[in-house]
């Protein structure tokens, strides 16, 4: 899945557009979107990942959704079926 698809799926979950209940181990980072880049950077340090990225009128920790999922030991919630 490309970055645009991941971001769309991520936003759908964050904004409550729901893609169904998450299965065990899937990432739903509702609490990890921050209004300031500095706060997201602090959370990235806690997760031991680097960087931040803008998303949904805020900032998320790690350099990408993929890096965030890896840092918290889960997989991204997506609308695509495997």
Mean pLDDT, rounded, for 3-9: 52
pTM confidence score: 0.59
Q: Is the pLDDT of residue 21 over 90?
A: no
For residues 5 and 71, the answer to whether their CB atoms sit within 8 Å is no
Between CA 73 and CA 53 the distance in angstroms is 19
Mean pLDDT, rounded, for 73-77: 74
Please state the domain extents for the chain: 3-76
Residue 80 has phi, psi (to 5 degrees) of -80, 145
Q: Is the pLDDT of residue 15 over 50?
A: no
Mean pLDDT, rounded, for 11-15: 47
DSSP state of 34: B
């Amino acid at each position: 899945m490309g970055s645009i698809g991941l971001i769309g799926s991520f936003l759908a979950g964050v904004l409550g557009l729901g893609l169904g209940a998450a299965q065990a181990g899937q990432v739903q980072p509702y609490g990890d979107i921050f209004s300031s880049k500095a706060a997201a950077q602090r959370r990235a340090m806690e997760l031991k990942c680097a960087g931040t990225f803008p998303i949904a009128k805020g900032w998320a920790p790690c350099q990408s959704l993929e890096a965030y999922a890896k840092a918290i030991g889960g997989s991204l919630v997506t609308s695509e079926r495997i």
